[in-house]
């Protein structure tokens, strides 16, 4: 069963949390102070960018101190009514079983618009009279809506942890998953994440799940990715899009160009559209998108791009008629492109031989290494005489002969003849 | 037996030596006669004589010193816009010395040029028509931008018909004293489908085993050179494994460089041999035809062919129902 690593490997204790040591200490002191009576500030307001460990800190601390954690998030307190329903929790001393309790209101940013105005006010009222520690979490505490609320809270800022700490965390995750990861691969993921630990772990999972070893080559394509709207979200918008318009929108938020996006869709759509009719429909849409790419090329009329986009986004989204959604299937980097970046050394050798063939055979080096080289391999393995003749004719060196024959001893006899 | 690549050794030297593409050869000969050549597009599948025709034309036109008046560029290797700017321009604008006032530039695999480079080329072609004539060789003329197409005389090369293919293969076997059995010739045609370069390479690789060349030997050689197991791919798709079939397709195209037109031709043949209801055969043939057409118009062989594979998956599912 698929489990998100970001959840699976969440720190269980504050000691495991990377970065923000000061903030965590301040917070933990404040929670401790409740044992000596209600402190001046009855709520702590943790704020900072996403994925730096705000929620995790609260959860881990509750765990460390054996406190009960009552967690609510934005959808639970959209209106004053809804808030009053659990206001009682905050007004009591501790929980039923004698333990202490923390009330956590997460994702405060989720309160929007006028309808939620009452929400912020209700929260402020609860904070004023709370008898259990209340923790508020938001990306920014300085939103004007929180002006009054803020004054009743202890403000604790969470900052992005440095890349080196994120790397350390990724390393730990890899160890637990039994993956051998190159240091620079993890460093790269960490740097790309811009201090967002959660997304770094998500990236790691997308790249490394099911592998024994993670190398720099496996991750370097992440350079294509944007922090704001990762390609995974873009793909979700397309492959799971409900409306044509929504699927088309994906192109605007993607930070890869259309051709690269096409590759992503082409790679991933089949695994997500398992019903044969849906699959055929989606592939047909991609085929039509490609036809329009061809038409653009032939006519140089780039305005046809809109049809490419229609087919590759809306066309694929609307293909989903029968496929049911079963759990989460990870998105994969386009393997066609991966294939190209692999075995650089081998390709270098092939193109060197290709160049030799080109000089004689009026065929591109690229084609030669695909069309002629395979036959050379057969000849060189079977017929030393013919091999020697061709080697001489093509003017290839011992190293190339060895590559073609794939066997040192045999290559030796051929090169001996060459001399 | 001689020890160079036979495909080169037996490449025709003069237009008169060319065994096939009769009508094209006739037109090219008339160019030689009038000592004038327009810009040309030679379009057609691999191994059908495009480059050969261009080289023969040049040799017949300029005589044995034809190399001095000729430049051969391969767009797959040098497809950037800079090559067009520098190399092509320098060559195109320099005057030819001799009887014929222009030189010839053969641009092979021109359909692999980026469209930017093609745009740049279009201007070069226009400006230096006096001093240089272009022969563009391409698998798909559709991938050459229209402004260039409209400046060129089009020539469509087709796969060699059976008899001509066999004649040529047998001729080479004779010259090289290779024992080629009739079913060997047949197998070469079946596997290479009239792509003469591949046919000759296959013959040479098979004869390197120092055994009489029969069908089995040919199949074993081509199996090693390019495991194009279209039948297996078809079965994989019909059994519902799309990703598996696509992987096989990708290997054929990327690793072994099999042309999309080749693959679809074989798929078409296999459809009628496959163990599926008769009604489905004609349905699938129709789909193959549609994809074949899109292959010409589109830009990515794997994408087009995998759309066909998805249809096969669908068909397999329906048939089972």
Out of A340, A364, A380, pick the residue that ends a domain.
A340
* Domain stops at, among B208, B225, B242: B225
* Nearest residue on chain A to B226, alpha-carbon basis: A374
Residues B287-318 have pLDDT tens digits of 999 999 998 887 789 999 999 999 999 999 99
Domains identified in chain B, total number: 3
The pLDDT score that the predictor gives to residue A337 is 75
Question: Are B217 and B235 contained in the same domain?
Answer: no
Question: pTM (2 decimals)?
Answer: 0.54
- Are residues A284 and B294, on separate chains, in Cβ contact within 8 Å? no
Q: Which CATH number goes with the domain that contains A169?
A: 1.10.8.60
- Tell me, yes or no, whether A191 lies in a domain: yes
State whether A40 and A77 are in the same domain: yes
Nearest to B200 by CA among A363, A342, A1, A246: A363
The answer to whether residue B2 is domain-embedded is: no
pLDDT value for A113: 53
Best residue in A297, A366, A380 for a mutation probing chain B (most B CBs within 10 Å): A297
Please report whether residue A4 resides in a domain: no
Whether residue B307 and residue A287 make contact (CB cut-off 8 A), yes or no, is yes
pLDDT digits (tens, 9 = 90+) for A51-97: 899 999 999 999 898 888 887 766 665 666 666 666 666 666 655 44
B130 and B186 inside one domain: no
Query: Are residues B216 and B134 part of one domain?
Result: no
**How does the average pLDDT of chain A come out, rounded?**
83
How distant, in Å, are the alpha carbons of A44, A148, B292 from that of A141? 11, 11, 61
Closest-approach residue (CA) in chain A for B240:
A276
- Structurally, how many domains does chain A consist of? 4
- Across the interface, do A378 and B208 touch by the CB < 8 Å criterion? yes
Q: Give the tokens for residue B303.
A: 């994408």
Considering the domain architecture, whether residues A34 and A101 belong to the same structural domain is answered as yes
Q: What is the CATH number of the domain that holds B72?
A: 3.40.50.300
CB contact under 8 A, A276 and B317: yes
pLDDT of the residue at B57: 95
Indicate if A169 and A252 belong to the same structural domain: no
Neighbour tally for A323: CB within 10 Å: 18
Instruction: Assess whether pLDDT exceeds 80 at residue B271.
Output: yes
Considering A133, A157, A181, which residue would you say is the last residue of a domain?
A: A157
For A323, the token pair is 């496929």
Whole-angstrom distance, CA of residue B302 vs CA of residue B316: 21
* Residues A25 and A153 occupy one common structural domain: yes
Interval A35-51 mean pLDDT:
88
CATH at residue B216: 1.10.8.60
- Whether residue A228 is predicted with pLDDT greater than 50 in this model: the reply is no
**Residues in B touching A410 (Cβ below 8 Å):** none
Tell me how crowded residue A375 is: count the other CB atoms within 10 A of its CB.
27
Q: Which two tokens stand for residue B172?
A: 């080479």
Structural domain includes residue A2: no
Measured CA to CA, the distance from residue A339 to residue A337 in angstroms comes to 5
Q: What is the pLDDT of residue A281?
A: 96
Q: Do B298 and A294 touch (CB under 8 A)?
A: yes
Last residue of a domain, one of B109, B134, B156: B156
Among the partner residues B144, B147, B210, nearest to A383 by beta-carbon distance? B210
| Residues A25 and A136 grouped into a single domain | yes
Query: pLDDT tens digits, residue range A174-224?
Result: 999 899 998 888 988 888 787 889 888 888 887 887 788 888 877 876 655
Q: Judge whether A135 and A46 are in contact, CB under 8 Å.
A: yes
Same domain, A186 and A74: no
Higher pLDDT, B28 or B141: B28
**Model confidence pLDDT, tens digit, residues A121-135:** 878 888 888 888 889
Is residue B4 a contact partner of residue B172, using CB atoms and an 8 Å limit?
A: no
The pLDDT value recorded for residue A345 is: 67
pLDDT of residue A1: 43
Q: For an interface test with A, give the residue of B121, B314, B316 to mutate (most A CBs within 10 A).
A: B314
- CATH of residue B237: 1.20.272.10
Are A348 and A335 contained in the same domain? Answer: no
Expressed as residue numbers, the domain containing A169 is 163-224
Which of A65-69, A114-118, A269-273, A351-355 is the least confident region? A114-118
Return the pLDDT at A23.
94
Evaluate whether residue B75 is within a structural domain: yes
- Residue B57 per-residue DSSP state: H
> A-chain residues within 8 Å CB-CB of B255?
370
A172-181, A267-276, B214-223, B256-265: range with lowest mean pLDDT: B256-265
In a domain, A356, yes or no: yes
Token reading at B105? 């530039």
Residue range B147-182, pLDDT digits in tens: 888 888 999 998 888 998 999 999 999 999 999 999
CA dist., res. A207 & res. A216, Å (int): 11
Looking at the fold, whether A25 and A151 belong to one and the same domain comes out as: yes
In a domain, B148, yes or no: yes
Q: What is residue A243's DSSP assignment? A: S
* Percent of chain A predicted with pLDDT > 70: 87
Is pLDDT larger for residue A100 or for residue A88?
A100
Alpha carbon B199 to its chain's center: 12
Statement: residue B228 has pLDDT above 60: no
B144 and B220 share one domain: no
Residue B7 placed within a domain: no
Length of chain B equals 321
The CATH number assigned to the domain holding A65 equals 3.40.50.300
Higher pLDDT, B205 or A418: B205
pLDDT digits (tens, 9 = 90+) for B126-153: 888 889 999 999 988 888 888 888 888 9
Contact A258, A309 (CB under 8 A): yes
Its domain, for residue B28, covers 21-156
Are A64 and A24 in contact, with CB atoms under 8 Å apart?
Answer: no
User: Is A262's pLDDT higher than 80?
Assistant: yes
The residue written with tokens 């290559």 in the block is: A411
Does A183 share its domain with A282?
Answer: no
Extract the tokens encoding A326.
């079963």
Mark whether B238 and B281 lie in a shared domain.
yes
Q: Answer whether residue A10 is part of any domain.
A: no
Residues A212 and A331 in one domain: no
Q: Check whether residue B67 and residue B146 sit in a common domain.
A: yes
- Within-domain flag for A5: no
| Mean pLDDT for all residues in chain B | 87
**What are the tokens at A55?**
């929620």
**Does residue A247 fall inside a structural domain?**
yes
**Same domain for A395 and A354?**
yes
A261 within a domain of the structure (yes/no)? yes
Confidence of residue A227 (pLDDT cuts 50, 70, 90): very low
- How does pLDDT run across A293-341, given as a tens digit for each residue? 988 888 888 899 999 999 999 999 999 999 887 777 788 888 887 666 5
Judge whether B11 lies within some domain.
Answer: no
- Do A364 and B225 make contact, defined as CB atoms within 8 angstroms? no
Domain-located, residue B173: yes
* Helical segments of A114-253, H only: 117-129, 147-151, 163-177, 183-193, 197-208, 216-219, 231-239, 244-253
* Residues A52 and A150 placed together within one structural domain of the fold: yes
Between residues A66 and B98, the one the model is more confident about:
A66
Q: Cβ contacts of residue A346 below 8 Å, gap of 6+?
A: none
Using CA atoms, how far residue A136 sits from A38, A145, A224, B188, in Å, is: 17, 14, 35, 76
Chain A's closest residue to B76, CA to CA, is: A364
Among A126, A157, A188, where does a domain finish?
A: A157
Backbone angles phi, psi at B3, to 5 degrees: -115, 60
| Chain B hits for A258, Cβ within 8 Å | none
Instruction: In whole angstroms, give the CA distance from residue A398 to residue A409.
Output: 12
Q: Are strands A134-138 and A101-106 parallel, antiparallel or unpaired?
A: parallel
């Amino acid at each position: 069963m698929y489990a998100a690593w970001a959840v699976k490997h969440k720190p269980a204790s504050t000691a495991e949390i990377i970065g923000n040591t000061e903030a965590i200490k301040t917070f933990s002191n404040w929670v401790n102070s409740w044992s000596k009576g209600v402190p001046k500030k009855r709520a702590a307001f943790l704020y900072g960018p996403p994925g730096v460990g705000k929620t995790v800190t609260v959860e881990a601390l509750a765990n460390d101190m054996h406190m009960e954690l009552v967690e609510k998030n934005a959808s639970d307190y959209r209106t004053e009514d809804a808030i009053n329903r659990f206001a009682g929790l905050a007004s009591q001393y501790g929980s039923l079983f004698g333990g202490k309790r923390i009330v956590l209101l997460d994702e405060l940013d989720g309160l929007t618009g006028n309808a939620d105005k009452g929400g912020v006010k209700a929260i402020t009222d609860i904070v004023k009279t709370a008898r259990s520690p209340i923790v508020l979490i938001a990306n920014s505490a300085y939103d004007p809506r929180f002006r009054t609320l803020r004054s009743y809270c202890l403000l604790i800022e969470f900052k992005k942890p440095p890349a080196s700490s994120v790397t350390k965390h990724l390393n730990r995750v890899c160890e637990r998953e039994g993956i051998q990861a190159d240091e620079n691969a993890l460093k790269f993921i960490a740097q790309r994440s811009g201090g967002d630990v959660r997304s770094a772990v998500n990236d790691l999972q997308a790249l490394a799940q099911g592998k024994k070893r993670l190398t720099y080559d496996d991750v370097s394509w992440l350079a294509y990715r944007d922090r704001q709207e990762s390609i995974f979200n873009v793909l979700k918008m397309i492959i799971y899009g409900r409306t044509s318009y929504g699927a088309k929108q994906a192109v605007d938020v993607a930070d890869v160009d259309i051709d690269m996006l096409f590759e992503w869709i082409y790679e991933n759509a089949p695994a997500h559209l398992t019903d044969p009719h849906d699959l055929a429909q989606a592939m047909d849409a991609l085929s039509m998108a490609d036809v329009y790419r061809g038409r653009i090329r032939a006519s140089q009329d780039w305005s046809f791009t809109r049809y490419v986009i229609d087919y590759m986004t809306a066309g694929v989204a609307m293909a989903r008629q029968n496929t049911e959604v079963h759990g989460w299937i990870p998105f994969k980097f386009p393997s066609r492109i991966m294939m190209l970046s692999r075995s650089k050394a081998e390709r270098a050798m092939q193109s060197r031989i290709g160049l030799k063939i080109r000089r004689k055979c009026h065929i591109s080096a690229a084609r030669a290494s695909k069309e002629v080289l395979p036959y050379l391999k057969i000849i060189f393995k079977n017929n030393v005489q013919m091999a020697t003749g061709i080697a001489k004719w093509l003017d290839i060196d011992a190293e190339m002969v060895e590559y073609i024959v794939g066997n040192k001893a045999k290559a030796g006899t051929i090169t001996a003849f060459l001399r | 037996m001689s020890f160079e690549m036979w495909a080169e050794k037996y490449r025709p030297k003069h237009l008169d030596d060319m065994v096939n593409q009769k009508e094209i050869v006739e037109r090219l000969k008339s160019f030689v006669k009038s000592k004038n050549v327009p810009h040309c597009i030679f379009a057609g599948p691999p191994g059908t004589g495009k480059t050969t025709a261009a080289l023969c034309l040049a040799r017949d036109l300029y005589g044995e010193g034809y190399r001095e008046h000729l430049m051969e560029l391969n767009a797959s290797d040098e497809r950037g816009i800079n090559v067009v700017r520098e190399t092509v321009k320098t060559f195109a604008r320099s005057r030819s010395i001799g009887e014929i006032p222009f030189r010839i530039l053969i641009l092979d695999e021109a359909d692999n040029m980026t469209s930017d480079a093609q745009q740049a080329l279009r201007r070069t072609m226009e400006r230096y028509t006096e001093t240089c004539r272009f022969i563009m060789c391409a698998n798909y003329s559709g991938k050459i931008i229209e402004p260039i197409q409209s400046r060129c005389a089009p020539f469509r090369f087709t796969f060699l018909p059976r008899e001509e293919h066999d004649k040529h293969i047998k001729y080479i076997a004779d010259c090289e004293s290779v024992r080629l059995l009739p079913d060997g010739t047949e197998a070469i045609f079946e596997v290479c489908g009239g792509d003469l370069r591949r046919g000759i390479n296959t013959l040479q690789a098979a004869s390197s085993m120092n055994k009489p060349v029969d069908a089995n030997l040919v199949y074993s050689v081509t199996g090693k050179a390019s495991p194009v197991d279209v039948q297996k791919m078809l079965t994989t798709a019909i059994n519902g494994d799309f990703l598996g079939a696509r992987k096989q397709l990708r290997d054929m195209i990327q690793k072994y460089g099999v042309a999309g037109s080749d693959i679809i031709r074989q798929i078409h043949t296999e459809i009628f041999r496959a163990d599926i209801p008769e009604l489905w055969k004609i349905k699938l043939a129709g789909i193959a035809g549609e994809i074949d057409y899109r292959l010409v118009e589109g830009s990515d062989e794997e994408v087009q062919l995998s759309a066909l594979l998805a249809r096969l998956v669908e068909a397999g599912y329906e048939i089972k129902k």
